[in-house]
Amino acid sequence: METLGLGLHYEDLPIGRSFRTIARTITEADIVNFVGATGMTEVLFTDLEYLAHHSDIKGGRVAPGALVYSIAEGLVLSASLQHTGVAFLGMELNVAGPVIAGDTIHVECEVVEARLTSKRGRGLVRTRNRIVNQRGQTVIEYTPLRLVKCRNGS
């Protein structure tokens, strides 16, 4: 019986391939739970009065960049790496703008590096991932390098 929802193999990820994930709205509950779990009690995340009167960021509760990145990774993993991703090896990450409770994000991925490793059945794949909000604005860009399974183990 066929299993649906499995990830992409190294052979499915040539340089230049692009794809987009589904979208997800960042909620107040996401932010409050993440801040509580991590101890990120910065006033930008916890004090709506401070935001309203002393911050350049307007419109509601600000989501920590780490939360936005984490949710984006969940979207990417669900879309492309179930059963095929072996390891996350590193990345560069740049925050371009805020995400506010109620914003909806998706991730646009482009393969920018792909090469086989010396270990049989594995490839290295780097993507340029743009986290984009509902207004089409890139809020975070990051470039993960991942170890990915080959389809036939060669």
- Name residues of the chain where pLDDT drops below 50: none
Q: What is the DSSP letter of 62?
A: B
For the chain, what is the mean pLDDT?
95
CB contact burial 42-65 (16+ within 10 A = b; e otherwise) = eebbbeeeebeeeeeeeebbbbbb
CATH for 10-149?
3.10.129.10
| Cα pseudo-dihedral 59, 65, 70, 72, rounded to 10 | 60
Nearest to 143 by CA among 117, 112, 115, 122: 112
pLDDT at 3: 78
d(CA 66, CA 43): 16
- C-alpha R_g of the chain: 18
d(CA 1, CA 71): 31
Are the beta carbons of 104 and 33 closer than 8 angstroms? no
